[in-house]
Chain A
Amino acid sequence: MNFRRLLYKTALLVACATLFNACEKDDDNDPKVTVTKATGFYITNEGAFGNSNAELSFFNYSENSITNNLFKTVNNRPLGDVLQSMTIFGNKGYLVLNNSSKVEVVKLPSLKEAGVITGLVAPRYITTLPNGKIAVSEWNTQGSVSIIDTNTLSVVKSIPVGTGPEKMVVKGNYLLVANGGGFAVDSTISVIDLTTLTEVRKIKVGYNPKDIEVDNNGTVWVLSYGYVTYDMITWEMIHLKPSSLSSLSSDLTSVSATVKIADQTHPQYLECSADKKTLFYGGGYGFQGIFKFNPSTKTIDSTPVIDKAFYGFAINPVTNEIVGTEAPSFTLPGTVYRYTSAGVEIANYSTGIGPNNIVFVTVQE
């Protein structure tokens, strides 16, 4: 029993360390929306691989309290196996269950079950598209992005992309997909034309791009994890390629600038400040600290905002509060930490197992 779990854990930890999704990637397409208040945030607890104990938690700012095990409490059934991410679209929440190969749809804010999207293989992240559609990145046998009609919850089209697609962002009429490498290696961004729903080109960036963001100038930034392998004799980590940040040219054909992060450390997540003038990177297994990056001067602050290793983190899109998660084990609950934008701890709360992802709920006032 333990051995099987261990095998799964290895697969999980070595090859598929989870990624993170915090900012609403597409909100730069809709400048009319002015976010005025964040009422709280959801925490996706991935659970232990192969145990179907993923759960959803919610932190409420006005009550200053966290509620765990929300899905089971409301729907009286388990959510699934490895909750990778959550995306809010309209009055629905889309919960991506990686090892269950499905997306559970819930009504918001009640979290009552409202349907399920199947026909996917190892889904990772969702990005919302115009006309009531969403895009799901899937690791599949070959990496792909499936376009889903949210009215029928059926797959409209499945588009082959690179290996291990992760985060996506919409830029103009294009969907940009970070091909993170999955269980192997990749170093490209797929550019998908949203009219024809076909991949028009791949842009070569750094090794294993995991995350992608758009700054206040509309520039697309890609975080590449770098490339790591293990020595077959000593089993020491060999750092083959460094981690880096790259910006894409405005016509989305090439890389316009590259900033090396480090040869020997490998962050997984890229987030942006409320005004999108600052980017933050950090998080993932074994990466210490959350660091600031200024996209206009292309400089990295040498000292981290918070000098702590997080499993994942996010920035409050109104207050710039930093929220980091910690997954000390996959058998016991994790912890979520709140910090001021300057990195001073406000409070911490116990979550479900393996908290990996924060999704803020915002309202207009």
Chain B
Amino acid sequence: MRRLLFFISLLTTFTCLAGNKIDNDGAKPDSIINLKEVAIVSSSLHSLNTSTFQLTIPSKLIARSGGQSLQELLSSNTSLTVNQYGNGGLSTVSIRGAGSGHTAVLWNGVSLQSPMNGGVNFSLIPTILLDEVAISHGGQGSLYGSGSVGGTIQLNTLADVPAGLGVSLVLNSGSFSNYFSGLKVNYGTKKIAFSIRTFWQDAKNNFEFTNDAKYGHPTEKLQNGEFNQYGALASFLYKITNNQQFTIRAWGQYHNKNLPPLMTNEISKQNEKNSDLRISADWMGNHNQFQWTIQSAFLSNKNHFVDSITKTDAINLGKTLQNRAELTWFLHPEHRLVVQLLHLMEQGESDNYSNNITRHRISLMAGYRLAPENGRYSFAVSGREELVEGSLKQPTFSAGGSLRVIKHLDIQANISKSYRIPTLNDLYWAVWGNPNLKPEIGFNQDLGVHFLREKENSTIDFNLSAFNNDVSNWIIWIPEGSIWTPKNIRKVHARGFESKASLKYYFSKNWNIHLNASYQFTKTTQSGDKDAPAYNKQLIYIPKNKFTVNTSISYKEFELSYTYRYTGARFTDELNEEKALSGYTLNDLYLLSNFTLHSNKLSIKLSVNNLLDTKYQSVAWYPMPGRNYLFSIIWSYNNFK
């Protein structure tokens, strides 16, 4: 606790010191920049992102998702490979055939990847805490730092709420005794904005399933699957002047989950508890041709795993302090320069380490963007160099741009080198860790076309992108004598293409239809040594084919939405010799209706998930629920001016 207080005071000191240098000359903000934009993109780095495949989940969908987790939101609204260890269990994401640690996840610019294992559990992020979710495919290591090898997911919690009072209450009740309640309260004036969001969830998760892994194929109820969680996220924004603001966000949550047995197993007595604290403070502003962000964040995760059968009782405590300073210089309306200095202090405490580990990382990034106002073309280039504990790591870069070839049609291309530095577990696991590990390196190229035509009553948006990514120095744990040790030995060649199409059509003022479809093909195989047994074999749990279609029809305040998702077969063994885990299709349906009375809005949603009661597994022998229902009510009130 004392250490925590130290961090908080450090963080506040840092921010206050920075704050003292404010130059209050009250000059008019540059026409290109305004604070609204600053708040939304949260990082000026985003302007340098030239990814050929980007997806933003509409805020409306996030707000409607009510009591869902980010895992559910991503599974039903994107064609990302989301692997899940059972309903409500550990969930990981793979983009463009890369590994689960190869997706950078940023919350308002703060990296959420665990310093100890490099992962993010998407089941542990409730969407009620988020306002924006943006996914960009392709390695952007020079922009987003370590981890962005396959892609990047940016999560934003907006602090800039409108002036006035806003209240929103979410109540969910679903199959298998799943109850969720959430409350959001916003209050804003011209000068300040305050928001608090709280949530609570309790789920028995005792769904029935046919157990095809057991003798006699019995029908069973999932045992030891219950979980509960609660938490809060508060934000406070202070508008210092017209062109400067200070924001602080604090997010705390507790998640307690029993882990059910695999389908082949009779019992499980495993339990896992996660306690998270994430605090971030930033100061953003602009003056003449400059725009800056100074941010400091502290994150802590305590993971407590207990298995009374194997007599395991392990506590892992990971902490990071992240300090970021970013400056954008608008040389000219068409040219901008961005520099970023990032410092991370990572700490790990674990019974698996011989002593507590502290690691310092400092990186410097510089980028340039050329973008004429007519939008005919744009070009961005950036580079980053990171020092880990004082030693220089491999420099990374990215260069990309777009060119409008004909009206509505852009061609985009990128080339970049990305990296992921070894985790504390890889380096410092007692006896087994390998302190000589090098960063994993990704070298990727992509080429895409983007067609966008917006008319008064229709919008067509189409994206097609082909990618190629060679990952080397991929760290895997291999046995060496009597121990296991991680080594930079795997080489992977990931390639494929992805496409998405969106069509919106307004028949009349009351009627409209919205169609979304996406398809992706991913071949991601082990390369390198041609004589290795797994050479040219598809990586496990990466489907070659993924396909989704979503249709929604709206009439006045009613909406009917239907989603079809296909996930292709996945290998579970490295040699691809065993029968692959079967592909599956899921069908989801919901009906939504809104009622408005004065400043009150009531939104009622009835969802039927897995409509056709498909038997499927995301990860082998972790059962998933059949047809299930969710009833959701969102009441909101505001007196925004």
**A residues less than 8 Å from B119 (CB atoms):** 1-3
Q: Count B-side interface residues using an 8 Å CB cutoff.
A: 53
Task: Please state if A80 and B264 are interface contacts (CB–CB under 8 Å).
Answer: yes
A53 at the interface (CB under 8 A from B): yes
Report how far A242 CA is from B214 CA in the complex, Å. 42
Task: Please state if B262 and A52 are interface contacts (CB–CB under 8 Å).
Answer: yes
B266 at the interface (CB under 8 A from A): yes
Chain A nearest CB from B488 CB (Å) reads 15
Task: Please state if A233 and B482 are interface contacts (CB–CB under 8 Å).
Answer: no
Task: Please state if B311 and A97 are interface contacts (CB–CB under 8 Å).
Answer: no
Task: Please state if B266 and A118 are interface contacts (CB–CB under 8 Å).
Answer: yes
Report how far A299 CA is from B92 CA in the complex, Å. 56
**A residues less than 8 Å from B83 (CB atoms):** 1
Chain B nearest CB from A81 CB (Å) reads 5
Binary interface profile of B, 235-265, with partner A (CB < 8 Å = 1, else 0)?
0000000000000000000000000001111
A333 at the interface (CB under 8 A from B): yes
B10 at the interface (CB under 8 A from A): no
Task: Please state if A100 and B265 are interface contacts (CB–CB under 8 Å).
Answer: yes
Binary interface profile of B, 446-488, with partner A (CB < 8 Å = 1, else 0)?
0000000000000000000000000000000111011110000
Report how far A101 CA is from B213 CA in the complex, Å. 14
A344 at the interface (CB under 8 A from B): no
Given contacts A1-B85, A183-B311, contact A52 B213 (CB under 8 A): yes
Given contacts A7-B305, A115-B215, A141-B309, contact A52 B621 (CB under 8 A): yes
Task: Please state if A52 and B263 are interface contacts (CB–CB under 8 Å).
Answer: yes
Task: Please state if B262 and A121 are interface contacts (CB–CB under 8 Å).
Answer: no
Given contacts A3-B117, A7-B305, A235-B431, contact A102 B266 (CB under 8 A): yes
**B residues less than 8 Å from A329 (CB atoms):** 478-479
**A residues less than 8 Å from B114 (CB atoms):** 3
B574 at the interface (CB under 8 A from A): yes
Task: Please state if B574 and A97 are interface contacts (CB–CB under 8 Å).
Answer: no
Binary interface profile of B, 616-628, with partner A (CB < 8 Å = 1, else 0)?
0000110000000
**B residues less than 8 Å from A35 (CB atoms):** none
Task: Please state if B481 and A99 are interface contacts (CB–CB under 8 Å).
Answer: no
Which chain A residues (1-16) contact chain B, with CB distance < 8 Å? Answer: 1-4, 6-7, 9-11, 13, 15-16
User: B354: which of A16, A77, A233, A332 is its contact (CB, 8 Å)?
Assistant: A233
User: B215: which of A53, A113, A286, A332 is its contact (CB, 8 Å)?
Assistant: A113
Task: Please state if B352 and A51 are interface contacts (CB–CB under 8 Å).
Answer: no
A69 at the interface (CB under 8 A from B): yes
**A residues less than 8 Å from B525 (CB atoms):** none
Chain A nearest CB from B213 CB (Å) reads 5
Which chain A residues (232-261) contact chain B, with CB distance < 8 Å? Answer: 232-236
A331 at the interface (CB under 8 A from B): yes
Task: Please state if A78 and B264 are interface contacts (CB–CB under 8 Å).
Answer: yes
A230 at the interface (CB under 8 A from B): yes
Report how far A58 CA is from B425 CA in the complex, Å. 38
Which chain A residues (35-85) contact chain B, with CB distance < 8 Å? Answer: 50-53, 69, 72, 77-81
Task: Please state if A122 and B309 are interface contacts (CB–CB under 8 Å).
Answer: yes
Task: Please state if B354 and A235 are interface contacts (CB–CB under 8 Å).
Answer: yes
B165 at the interface (CB under 8 A from A): no
Report how far A353 CA is from B573 CA in the complex, Å. 10
Binary interface profile of A, 1-34, with partner B (CB < 8 Å = 1, else 0)?
1111011011101011000000000000000000
**B residues less than 8 Å from A99 (CB atoms):** 265
**A residues less than 8 Å from B267 (CB atoms):** 101, 121
A337 at the interface (CB under 8 A from B): no
A116 at the interface (CB under 8 A from B): yes
Report how far A78 CA is from B263 CA in the complex, Å. 9
B560 at the interface (CB under 8 A from A): no
**B residues less than 8 Å from A233 (CB atoms):** 354-355
Task: Please state if B620 and A51 are interface contacts (CB–CB under 8 Å).
Answer: yes
A104 at the interface (CB under 8 A from B): yes
Chain B nearest CB from A231 CB (Å) reads 8
**B residues less than 8 Å from A116 (CB atoms):** 214-216
A285 at the interface (CB under 8 A from B): yes
B220 at the interface (CB under 8 A from A): no
**A residues less than 8 Å from B90 (CB atoms):** 1, 4
Report how far A80 CA is from B116 CA in the complex, Å. 30
**A residues less than 8 Å from B308 (CB atoms):** 141
Binary interface profile of B, 96-131, with partner A (CB < 8 Å = 1, else 0)?
000011000000000000101101000000000000
Task: Please state if B425 and A100 are interface contacts (CB–CB under 8 Å).
Answer: no
**A residues less than 8 Å from B352 (CB atoms):** 10
**B residues less than 8 Å from A113 (CB atoms):** 215
A184: nearest chain-B partner, CB-CB? B311
Report how far A9 CA is from B116 CA in the complex, Å. 17
B357 at the interface (CB under 8 A from A): no
Report how far A118 CA is from B211 CA in the complex, Å. 15
Task: Please state if A235 and B264 are interface contacts (CB–CB under 8 Å).
Answer: no
B216: nearest chain-A partner, CB-CB? A116
**B residues less than 8 Å from A132 (CB atoms):** none
**A residues less than 8 Å from B425 (CB atoms):** 3, 6
Chain B nearest CB from A240 CB (Å) reads 17
B534 at the interface (CB under 8 A from A): yes
A328 at the interface (CB under 8 A from B): yes
**A residues less than 8 Å from B572 (CB atoms):** 51, 53
Task: Please state if A101 and B266 are interface contacts (CB–CB under 8 Å).
Answer: yes
Chain B nearest CB from A216 CB (Å) reads 33
User: A101: which of B265, B311, B483, B621 is its contact (CB, 8 Å)?
Assistant: B265
B31 at the interface (CB under 8 A from A): no
User: B620: which of A52, A139, A309, A330 is its contact (CB, 8 Å)?
Assistant: A52
Report how far A283 CA is from B130 CA in the complex, Å. 54
The 25 sampled A-B contact pairs (Cβ below 8 Å) are A1-B90, A3-B114, A4-B90, A6-B425, A6-B429, A7-B314, A9-B484, A10-B352, A11-B312, A13-B484, A52-B621, A53-B572, A78-B213, A81-B262, A97-B264, A100-B266, A102-B266, A121-B309, A122-B309, A183-B311, A233-B354, A233-B355, A235-B354, A330-B479, A353-B573
Q: Which B residues have a C-beta under 8 Å from some C-beta of A? A: 83, 85, 90, 92, 100-101, 114, 116-117, 119, 212-216, 262-267, 305, 307-312, 314, 352, 354-355, 425, 429-431, 477-479, 481-484, 533-534, 572-575, 578-579, 620-621
Q: List the 3 closest A-B pairs by CB distance, nearest first.
A: A286-B482, A3-B117, A116-B215
Not counting A1-B100, A11-B312, A52-B213, a sample of 14 additional A-B residue pairs whose C-beta atoms are within 8 angstroms of each other reads: A1-B85, A1-B90, A6-B117, A6-B429, A52-B620, A80-B264, A97-B265, A101-B309, A102-B266, A121-B267, A121-B309, A327-B479, A333-B575, A353-B573
